[in-house]
C-alpha cells in the first residue's frame, strides 16, 4: 500500500476484519519513527493473504461496556452554563457573638425563583427541623456519607408537610443541624490533615442545595460545625435565625412554634404491634433540650410525620432537680447565708478538697473559705504537684491556713498531703464534693462558655478528664488520717441572673 505524508502523525493503525492499515509519516527524522517505518514496510501485502489474516487476527468479541456515568450527568456536562439551573442557595459564615475566633456556623439561605411579597413578611410561628434522620436519610443505608447525592426524604410525606406548614399554616420553616464533622477553617497550628476539609464542606453544600431546591420554599439552613454557643442544645442558632428574619425573641409565638428532631433521649424499647421490632436508644437528648432552652414544643419525626405516640425518654442530667430558690439567692446577695457549709475549727490547718472537675470546688473556696482567711493552692494555676507542695510549705511557714484545691481522687494522692500535714505538725481536714458526673460536665460547659461565670478563663475539659477522675475515685474516709470529712452536695447558689445562664441545657 502507499504511504501518506502526515507531518504530525507518528503511527496510527486501524484494525478491520480483513485488513491492517498503517499510516506512518514518510518524511520523518525521528529515529524511533524511522524504525517503525522499516518495520511496517517489511509486512507482506495483506490484500493477498486474507485467509492467513483471518486465522491470525480473528474479529474482536463484542461486549457491552459498563459505565458508572448516568445519563443525567452526561446531559448536565453538555448543557451550556447559561442554560443550567441557578443554585438559589446563598452561603455565609458566622462566628460566635463576642468571639475573635474563626467562623463556625455555616448558613445557607434559599429563595425560590418567584418570591411573593407575602414571602418576605414576618412570620411569628417557627417550625424548626433537624436535618439528618429527620428530614432526610441516606439511600445507601450508611449512617454518614460524603456523597452529596446519597440522600432521600426521611418519609415521602416530608416535603408536602413542610410546604403545607408554610403555605397554609403561616409558619417560618427553618433547618437547624449540628455538623461536627465539618471544619470551615482548619487551625493552621493543628497537626490534623486539612486537605479534605474544604471538599467535605463543598459536598455538604451541594447536598443541602439539592434538598432545598426540591423543597423550594423560602427557608434557611443553619449548620453548627463547632462546639461553641451555636451547637445544640445551646441557643446560638435560634438567636441567629431571629436576627436574620428581623424577629425579636419576644415577638415569636413560642406556644405555637415547634422543633422536630431525632435526638430526644428516647430509651430503648419494643415497638407496639405484632412485629415487636426493637426501637433503639437515641444517641443524645440534644434536640429535646434545645427546644426546652428556647421555650418551644419538641416532637420526634415519628410523632410529627407518622402520627406515632410519644416514647419514654430520660435525661442523664435534669434541670428540674435543681430549681432556683429565691430565699437562698437573697441571702447570698446580701453577703451572708443562713446555711453554714463550713466552719473553721483550728487556728491553723490544711483543708484538702476531693471532688471531680466542675463540682464547684473553686467557687466553694471563694465564697466560704477565703472569708475565713484560707490561702488557696491550686494545681491548675501552679501546673505541677511539686510547685503545689512548695507553695503550701511557704504559706504554712507564714502562719496561714491553706486549701488544696485539686481533685485528689484516690487514697495514694491524698496520702501524700496527709504526710505533708504530719511533717508540718498541722491538722488536715477533707471536704468531699459528692457530685455526679453529668452535673459536673454541665457545670464545666457553663463555666467555659460564659465569661461572667468564668473569672479564671478556663476552657471546657474533654470527657476523658471526667472519666479519669471517676475511674480512680475512692471515697475519702477519716481513717486515712483526716480530722474529719465534710460532705458537700450540689445546690445552685447564686443570683437570679446567674441562674438564667446556668439553668439551661448546655451539652
Tell me phi and psi for residue 495, to 5 degrees. Answer: -80, 170
CA distance 56 to 367: 99
For residue 332, what pLDDT is reported? 44
- From 94, 89, 90, select the one nearest 105 (Cα to Cα): 94
Better-predicted residue by pLDDT, 60 or 196: 196
Q: Is the pLDDT of residue 376 over 60?
A: yes
For residue 55, what pLDDT is reported? 46
Region 316-326 average pLDDT: 90
Rg (the chain; Cα; Å): 35
Q: Is the pLDDT of residue 46 over 70?
A: no
For residue 60, what pLDDT is reported? 52
C-alpha cell recorded at residue 203: 459536598
C-alpha cell recorded at residue 91: 452561603
At residue 85 the predicted structure's pLDDT band, cuts being 50, 70 and 90, is low
For residue 327, what pLDDT is reported? 53
Per-residue DSSP letter, 313: B
Q: Is the pLDDT of residue 40 over 80?
A: no
Query: Among the listed ranges 32-41, 99-108, 416-425, which one has the minimum average pLDDT value?
Result: 32-41
CA distance 45 to 237: 80
pLDDT tens digits, 332-357: 443 445 678 999 999 999 999 999 99
For residue 338, what pLDDT is reported? 61
For residue 336, what pLDDT is reported? 44
Give the position of cell 524511533: 32
Helix pair angle (158-167, 197-215), 10° resolution: 70
Better-predicted residue by pLDDT, 23 or 103: 103
**pTM higher than 0.85:** no
Region 43-52 average pLDDT: 45
Region 62-91 average pLDDT: 56
C-alpha cell recorded at residue 368: 466560704
Region 27-36 average pLDDT: 47
Give the position of cell 441572673: 497
For residue 115, what pLDDT is reported? 80
Can you give the three-state secondary structure of 16-73, one letter per residue?
CCCCEEEECCCCCCCHHHHHHHHHHHCCCCHHHCHHHHHHHCCCCCCCCCCCCCCHHH
Region 369-398 average pLDDT: 95
Burial letters 228-267, b for 16+ CB under 10 A, else e: bbbbbbbbbbbebbbeebebeeeebeeeebbbbbbbbbbe
**Domain 326-502, CATH number (from 3.50.50.60, 3.30.830.10, 3.40.50.10490, 3.40.50.300):** 3.40.50.300
Q: Is the pLDDT of residue 23 over 70?
A: no
At residue 131 the predicted structure's pLDDT band, cuts being 50, 70 and 90, is very high
For residue 86, what pLDDT is reported? 77
**Given this chain, do its domains 89-315 and 326-502 carry the same CATH topology?**
yes
| DSSP secondary structure string for all residues of 101-124 | SPP-EEEEEE--SS--GGGGS---
Q: Is the pLDDT of residue 42 over 70?
A: no
Region 95-99 average pLDDT: 81
Region 362-391 average pLDDT: 95
> 3-class DSSP state for residue 419?
helix
Q: Is the pLDDT of residue 72 over 60?
A: no
Region 435-444 average pLDDT: 97
For residue 480, what pLDDT is reported? 98
Query: Among the listed ranges 317-331, 419-433, 434-448, 467-481, which one has the minimum average pLDDT value?
Result: 317-331
Q: Could you tell me the residue ranges of all domains in the chain?
A: 12-56, 89-315, 326-502
Better-predicted residue by pLDDT, 119 or 345: 345
For residue 192, what pLDDT is reported? 67
Instruction: Tell me what percent of the residues of the chain surpass a pLDDT of 90.
Output: 68
C-alpha cell recorded at residue 361: 470546688
Can you give the three-state secondary structure of 293-309, one letter per residue?
HHCCEEECHHHHHHCCC
Better-predicted residue by pLDDT, 232 or 61: 232
CATH topology of domain 89-315: Rossmann fold (3.40.50)
C-alpha cell recorded at residue 331: 441571702
For residue 462, what pLDDT is reported? 93
Tell me phi and psi for residue 108, to 5 degrees. Answer: -120, 115
Q: Taking a C-beta distance cutoff of 8 angstroms, is the pair 353, 403 a contact?
A: yes
Count of CB atoms situated within 10 Å of the CB of 142: 11
Tell me phi and psi for residue 270, to 5 degrees. Answer: -85, 135
Q: Is the pLDDT of residue 59 over 50?
A: yes
Q: Taking a C-beta distance cutoff of 8 angstroms, is the pair 125, 170 a contact?
A: yes
Region 163-183 average pLDDT: 96
Query: Among the listed ranges 36-40, 125-129, 345-349, 399-403, which one has the minimum average pLDDT value?
Result: 36-40
Better-predicted residue by pLDDT, 52 or 423: 423
C-alpha cell recorded at residue 9: 502523525
Q: Taking a C-beta distance cutoff of 8 angstroms, is the pair 293, 504 a contact?
A: yes
Region 193-201 average pLDDT: 84
Region 87-113 average pLDDT: 91
- Round the average pLDDT of the chain to a whole number and report it: 84
Amino acid at each position: 500500500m502507499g504511504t501518506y505524508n502526515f507531518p504530525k502523525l507518528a503511527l496510527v493503525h486501524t484494525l478491520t476484519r480483513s485488513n491492517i492499515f498503517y499510516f506512518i509519516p514518510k518524511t520523518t527524522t525521528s529515529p524511533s519513527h524511522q524504525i517503525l517505518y522499516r518495520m511496517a514496510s517489511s509486512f507482506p501485502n495483506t490484500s493477498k493473504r486474507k485467509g492467513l489474516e483471518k486465522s491470525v487476527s480473528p474479529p474482536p468479541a463484542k461486549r457491552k461496556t459498563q459505565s458508572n456515568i448516568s445519563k443525567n450527568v452526561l446531559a448536565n456536562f453538555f448543557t451550556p452554563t447559561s442554560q443550567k439551573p441557578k443554585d438559589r442557595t446563598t452561603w455565609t459564615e458566622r462566628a460566635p457573638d463576642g468571639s475573635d475566633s474563626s467562623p463556625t456556623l455555616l448558613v445557607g439561605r434559599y429563595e425560590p425563583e418567584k418570591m411573593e411579597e407575602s414571602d418576605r413578611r414576618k412570620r411569628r410561628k417557627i417550625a424548626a427541623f433537624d436535618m439528618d434522620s429527620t428530614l432526610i436519610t441516606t439511600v445507601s443505608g450508611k449512617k454518614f456519607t460524603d456523597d452529596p447525592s446519597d440522600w432521600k426524604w426521611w418519609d415521602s410525606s416530608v416535603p408536602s408537610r413542610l410546604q403545607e406548614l408554610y403555605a397554609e399554616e403561616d409558619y417560618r420553616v427553618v433547618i437547624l443541624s449540628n455538623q461536627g464533622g465539618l471544619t470551615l477553617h482548619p487551625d493552621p497550628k493543628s497537626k490534623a490533615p486539612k486537605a479534605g476539609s474544604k471538599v467535605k464542606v463543598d459536598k455538604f453544600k451541594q447536598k443541602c442545595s439539592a434538598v432545598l431546591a426540591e423543597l423550594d420554599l423560602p427557608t434557611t439552613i443553619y449548620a453548627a460545625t463547632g462546639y461553641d454557643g451555636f451547637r445544640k442544645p445551646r441557643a446560638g442558632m435560634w438567636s441567629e435565625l431571629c436576627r436574620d428574619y428581623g424577629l425579636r425573641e419576644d415577638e415569636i409565638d413560642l406556644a405555637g412554634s415547634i422543633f422536630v428532631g431525632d435526638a430526644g433521649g428516647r430509651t430503648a424499647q419494643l415497638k407496639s404491634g405484632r412485629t415487636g421490632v426493637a426501637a433503639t436508644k437515641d444517641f443524645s437528648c440534644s434536640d429535646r433540650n434545645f427546644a426546652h432552652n428556647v421555650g418551644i414544643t419538641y416532637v420526634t419525626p415519628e410523632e410529627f410525620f407518622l402520627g406515632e405516640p410519644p416514647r419514654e425518654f430520660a435525661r442523664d442530667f435534669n434541670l428540674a432537680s435543681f430549681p432556683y430558690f429565691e430565699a437562698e439567692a437573697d441571702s447570698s446577695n446580701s453577703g451572708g447565708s443562713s446555711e453554714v457549709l463550713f466552719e473553721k475549727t483550728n487556728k491553723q490547718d490544711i483543708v484538702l478538697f476531693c471532688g471531680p472537675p466542675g463540682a464547684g470546688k473553686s467557687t466553694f473556696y471563694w465564697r466560704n473559705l477565703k472569708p475565713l482567711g484560707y490561702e488557696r493552692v491550686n494545681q491548675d494555676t501552679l501546673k505541677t504537684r511539686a510547685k503545689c507542695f512548695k507553695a503550701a510549705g511557704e504559706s504554712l511557714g507564714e502562719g496561714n491556713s491553706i486549701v488544696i484545691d485539686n481533685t485528689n481522687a484516690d487514697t495514694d494522692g491524698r496520702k501524700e498531703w496527709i504526710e505533708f500535714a504530719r511533717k508540718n505538725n498541722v491538722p488536715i481536714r477533707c471536704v468531699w464534693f459528692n457530685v455526679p458526673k453529668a452535673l459536673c460536665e454541665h457545670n464545666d460547659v457553663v463555666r467555659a462558655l460564659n465569661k461572667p461565670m468564668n473569672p479564671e478563663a478556663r476552657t471546657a475539659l474533654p470527657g476523658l478528664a471526667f472519666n479519669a477522675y471517676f475511674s480512680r475515685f475512692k471515697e475519702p474516709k477519716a481513717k486515712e488520717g483526716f480530722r474529719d470529712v465534710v460532705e458537700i452536695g450540689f445546690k445552685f447558689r447564686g443570683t437570679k441572673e446567674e441562674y438564667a445562664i446556668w439553668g439551661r441545657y448546655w451539652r
